[in-house]
Chain A
C-alpha cells in the first residue's frame, strides 16, 4: 500500500559491452549488457541504468542496439546516461526503447537544454545527474556543508553550487535527480548522506542516491537518512558481493518498503 523504494543496478557500457564483469552464475556472457540486464530483471531489480562510457563518437551507435535488444526482453524502466547532448540523442534513445535519459555535462554547459528536453519528451523521462564534491574550504564558514558540481565523470570542476544547481534543474523540468558523490564514488564507505538529504529536502522530485555503496546498511542509510526515493549501485551487484534479493531483504528488515514480487510467496 505504499510506494516502494527502488533498487537500481547500474551497468557501465563501453562500445556495446559491459566494462565491469557481472558475477551471475547463470550468465552466458558476462560482457553482454543485454544478458546482464536479463539477469538483473530476473533478480528483481526495479529499474536498470546503462551508463554509456564510450569515448568515440563512432562508438555511440552501439548503445542504441544495446537498448533496443534490452527493451525486447526486460519489461521495466530503463534509464540511459552518458554523452547525451542533443534532443536528437534523446529521441533516438527513447525510440530504441529507453524510458528515461540521464543528462550530466550538457545540463551544466547549457541549462536551457533541460527545458527543451522536458518540453519535448515530458519531465518524467528527464533525469539530471548531479555529480558533486564537497568543498572542504567552505565547510566551516557557516557550519553548513557546500558541494560543487563536477562534469566529465568527476574530472572537471565547475564552481557551481550543487544545491542551487539541483533546484534550477527541477525548475527547468528534470523529473528526477541522480545524485552522485564524487568523493564517495568507488570508495565503498557509503553514500554522502548529508549531500543526498540536502538535495532531497530542497526539491520535490525523487532523488536517486549514488556513489559509495559497500554494504547493505549503506542502502538503508541512503533511504532513512539521505531521504532518497531510490538507491543505485554498481560494483556490489556487478561483483556479486550482494544480490538484488539480498539487498531488498535487508532493506525490508530495516522497515523500508521494497518490491519483492519475484520472491515466492508462501
Chain B
C-alpha cells in the first residue's frame, strides 16, 4: 500500500518547494508514497500524513485556510480525531497556536496552546525578520529529532520570520533557536510536529527531518 502524503494548498506561499523536498526525501527512502498538493478537503480526509505549509501573515493564512470550504473540519477530523502524523511549517506551524498577534488578533487552530508574537530582540542591532541559517537546541526528546545532527556545532536550519510562537506548555517545546532572545524552533505533541524553520529549504538537515517525518510511526 502506498502512502498518501497531502500538502495542504490554501493559497499560502511556495508549495512547490515543500513538494520537491518531500518527493526527494520519499525517493531516498525508496518508499512507496504519493506526494499530493491539494486544496480538496476529501484528500486531507484520506491522507496518511498531512503537511501544512505557509508563508505570509498569520491572519491572511488563517483566512486562507478557513475560506477553503470544509478544510478546517477535514484537518480536525483527520489530524486530531484520526491522529495521522502532521507536519506544520513556518506559518503552518504558527497556525497551531491559540492566537496570532500579527497586524490583528486572530484565533488559530488552538491545537497547541500558545500565542504568536512579534520578535523583539534584546540587541537592537539585530534585524527583523530573523532571516537566514541558525542552529537549533533540542529541549525535549522526540523520535523525529533525537537522531538529527543539531546543537551549537550541528547543522543549521533556514529561518525567515518576524513572529514567533510562545507555547504555553514547555512540554510542547521541542527545540529552540537564539536570536537576541530564545525563540521557538520546533513544537509538537502526540501526532503533531511543526517547525518555524523551513525544512524544505534547509538542505541536509531539512531533508533528514522530512525523511524522519515520512518514517515517523506513532
Contact = CB atoms under 8 A, between A and B. Distances in A.
Interface in A75-123: 75-77, 94-99, 121-123
Given A1-B178, A76-B158, A97 B17 contact: yes
A79 to B, nearest CB: 12
Nearest to A71: B20
A261 B16 contact: no
B20 to A, nearest CB: 5
Interface in B125-161: 125-135, 137, 152-153, 155-156, 158-161
Nearest to B21: A75
A230 interface: yes
Contacts of A2: 134, 178
Contacts of A227: 125
B161 to A, nearest CB: 8
A124 B55 contact: yes
B111 interface: no
A46 B137 CA distance: 21
Contacts of A4: 132-134, 156
Interface string A1-20: 11111100000000000000
Interface stretch (B39-47, B187-195, B203-211): B203-211
Interface in A220-244: 227, 229-230
Interface residues of B, number: 42
B202 interface: yes
Interface in A122-166: 122-125
Contact of A3 (B16, B17, B20, B133): B133
Given A4-B134, A206-B129, A230-B132, A96 B16 contact: yes
A108 B13 CA distance: 25
A60 interface: no
A192 interface: no
B203 A41 contact: yes
A212 interface: no
B153 A265 contact: yes
B153 A99 contact: no
Chain B contact surface mostly? mixed
Given A3-B133, A75-B200, A76-B201, A122 B56 contact: yes
**Residue of B20, B131, B158, B206 contacting most chain A CB atoms (<10 Å):** B131
Contacts of A77: 158, 160, 201
A262 B21 CA distance: 18
Interface in B56-83: 56-57, 60
B125 to A, nearest CB: 8
Interface residues of A, number: 38
A259 B96 CA distance: 30
Chain A contact surface mostly? loop
A168 interface: no
Contacts of A252: none
Contacts of B57: 122
Interface string B173-194: 0000011000000000000000
Contact of A205 (B16, B55, B128, B179): B128
A33 interface: no
A169 to B, nearest CB: 15
A257 B191 CA distance: 35
B128 A75 contact: no
Given A1-B152, A265-B153, A176 B131 contact: yes
Contacts of A176: 131
A46 B178 CA distance: 19
A97 B20 contact: yes
Interface in B11-50: 13-14, 16-17, 20-21, 24
A214 interface: no
B55 A125 contact: yes
A1 B132 contact: no
A207 B134 CA distance: 17
B56 A95 contact: no
A121 B207 contact: no
A175 interface: yes
B127 A229 contact: yes
A58 interface: no
8 contacts: A3-B130, A3-B133, A3-B179, A4-B156, A95-B16, A122-B57, A230-B132, A261-B205
Interface of A: 1-6, 41, 46, 68, 71-72, 75-77, 94-99, 121-125, 175-176, 204-207, 227, 229-230, 259, 261-262, 265
